[in-house]
């Protein structure tokens, strides 16, 4: 069965875009990015922008992220996948990243949330964006401490 991802969270204030690979089963069910309770995304991003994102309702969380100049999307628009692991992604169709330059004039940096997402790094660099690969916030990536992940994310998302 083909799964379809979520629409981008982006507006013309975006200076940084965080690209994941594809939403988890929990995220698809909730129709919310990073909905799995064990994913550290909202906790890390909240620390970076100084907002309690994890404790906010989803619409308020998104408004805070956009006000901070951050956009969220995934590299894949659709795929086949059993479960939520990136390694299970098959027959993935890419999201159209090429239109970002026109729709987000302030966008300068694209950060990849993990190595699977970073498979499109050369394409992003060819479009003239600074590209940074960050440690995945997924609970499956437990090889790095929260403090280490936070330090890397904080550096990449600096204004």
Which residues are annotated as catalytic? 39
Taking alpha carbons only, the member of 54, 53, 74 closest to residue 10 is 74
CB 124 within 8 A of CB 97: yes
The sign of the dihedral angle between the CA atoms of 152, 111, 66, 77 is negative
């Amino acid at each position: 069965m083909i799964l379809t991802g979520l629409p981008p969270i982006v507006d013309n204030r975006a200076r940084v875009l965080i690209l994941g690979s594809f939403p988890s089963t929990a995220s698809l069910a909730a129709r919310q990015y990073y909905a799995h309770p064990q994913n550290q995304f909202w906790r890390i991003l909240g620390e970076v922008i100084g907002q309690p994102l994890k404790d906010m309702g989803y619409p308020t969380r998104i408004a805070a992220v956009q006000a901070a100049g951050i956009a969220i999307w995934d590299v894949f628009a659709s795929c086949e996948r059993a479960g939520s692991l990136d390694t299970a992604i098959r027959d993935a169709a890419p999201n159209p990243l090429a239109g970002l330059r026109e729709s987000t004039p302030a966008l300068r940096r694209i950060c990849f949330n993990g190595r699977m997402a970073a498979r499109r790094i050369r394409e992003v660099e060819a479009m003239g964006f600074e590209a940074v690969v960050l440690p995945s916030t997924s609970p499956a990536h437990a090889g790095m401490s929260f403090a280490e992940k936070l330090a890397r994310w904080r550096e990449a998302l600096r204004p």
